[in-house]
């Protein structure tokens, strides 16, 4: 299922409002997660000067635990770890409580209102419950619905040996437990590689599996405006 979700205050977190005030444009979210200590990690892609991005963070902001900014050719990648607001936690909790996968990246289709296009996959009952709980908190419009493909697991056999090793290690470390019991750093220690390499590999695997699961197929996809 693909839907567009818009927070009623026009931001999921106050930092997004400060981004706009400083001329920084939200492009996409490449990862978001709640860690076992209750903090949130998010990997954002934005457009704007690094100085403007830094101005968007109050140095005295007690919620901010870590911030790292990496400039690319056209955009900047911002990795944050912070203590969530009540709304942050409420909007993410449904994703932890249901057997639903997110296809990354999630794209901001209207950055001025923080409208975010999200594609998820999973059993119909879980997806419907996720949508219902999210709709209680935000404005949500369903764009497409596809039948859940249980044969997507066959794609595991088409992963490279290295990808299967990373995925298996992540699973064994508890990365896919709810709440998560491991970080990229924990997995990297087991594999003797960098945390960024683990993250990149897992995101590629997850994106591939979710894409296959929700891929449009003749006679299977329907267009709808209501879940």
Does position 194 have pLDDT exceeding 50, yes or no?
yes
Mean pLDDT of the chain: 84
Percent of the chain with pLDDT over 90: 37
Does position 104 have pLDDT exceeding 90, yes or no?
no
| Top mean-pLDDT range of 134-143, 147-156, 169-178, 184-193 | 134-143
- Largest separation between any pair of C-alpha atoms in the chain: 55
Q: Each residue of 49-98: pLDDT tens digit?
A: 999 999 998 665 678 888 899 888 789 999 999 998 999 999 998 888 88
Higher pLDDT: 62 or 131? It is 131
CA dist., res. 202 & res. 214, Å (int): 18
Q: What confidence tier does 215 reach under pLDDT thresholds 50, 70, 90?
A: low
Task: Supply the DSSP string of the chain, one letter for each residue.
Answer: -EEEEEETTS-SSHHHHHHHHTTPEEEEEEEEEE-TTS-EEEEEEEES-HHHHHHTS-TT-TTEEEEEEEE-SS-EEEEEEEPPPHHHHHHHHHHHHSS-EEEEEEEEEEGGGTEEEEEEES-HHHHHHHHHHHHTTEEEEEEEE----GGGGGGGGGS-HHHHHHHHHHHHHTTTSSS----HHHHHHHHTS-HHHHHHHHHHHHHHHHHHHH---TTT-EE-S--
Question: 42: which strand partners?
Answer: 32, 80
From the number of C-beta atoms within 10 Å of its C-beta (0-12, 13-18, 19+), residue 65 rates as middle
Does position 99 have pLDDT exceeding 70, yes or no?
yes
Question: 69: which strand partners?
Answer: 78
Q: What confidence tier does 224 reach under pLDDT thresholds 50, 70, 90?
A: very low
Distances, alpha carbon 64 to alpha carbons 56, 78, 170, in Å: 12, 13, 26
CA dist., res. 123 & res. 111, Å (int): 30
CA dist., res. 151 & res. 7, Å (int): 34
Does position 134 have pLDDT exceeding 50, yes or no?
yes
Does position 158 have pLDDT exceeding 60, yes or no?
yes
**What's residue 225's pLDDT?**
46
Q: Each residue of 2-45: pLDDT tens digit?
A: 999 999 999 999 899 999 999 999 999 988 888 888 899 999 99
Domains of the chain: 2-145 (no CATH), 150-214 (1.10.10)
């Amino acid at each position: 299922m693909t839907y567009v979700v818009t927070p009623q205050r026009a931001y999921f977190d106050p930092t997004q409002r400060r981004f706009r005030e400083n001329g920084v444009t939200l492009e996409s979210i490449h990862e978001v997660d709640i860690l076992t200590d209750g903090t949130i990690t998010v990997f954002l892609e934005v457009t704007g000067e690094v100085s403007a991005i830094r101005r968007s963070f109050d140095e005295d902001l007690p919620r901010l635990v870590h911030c790292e900014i990496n400039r690319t050719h056209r955009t900047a990648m911002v990795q944050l770890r912070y203590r969530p607001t009540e709304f942050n936690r409420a909007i993410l909790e449904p994703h932890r409580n249901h057997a639903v996968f997110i296809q990354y990246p999630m794209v901001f289709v209207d950055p001025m209102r923080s409208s975010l296009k999200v594609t998820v996959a999973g059993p119909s009952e879980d997806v419907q419950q996720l949508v219902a709980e999210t709709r209680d908190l935000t404005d949500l419009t369903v764009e497409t619905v596809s039948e859940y493909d249980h044969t997507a697991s066959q794609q595991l056999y088409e992963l490279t040996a290295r990808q299967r090793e990373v995925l298996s290690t992540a699973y064994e470390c508890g990365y896919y437990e709810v709440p998560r019991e491991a970080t990229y750093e924990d997995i990297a220690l087991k594999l003797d590689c960098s945390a960024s390499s683990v993250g990149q590999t897992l995101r590629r695997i997850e994106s591939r599996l979710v894409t296959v699961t929700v891929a449009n197929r003749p006679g299977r996809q329907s267009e709808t405006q209501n879940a």
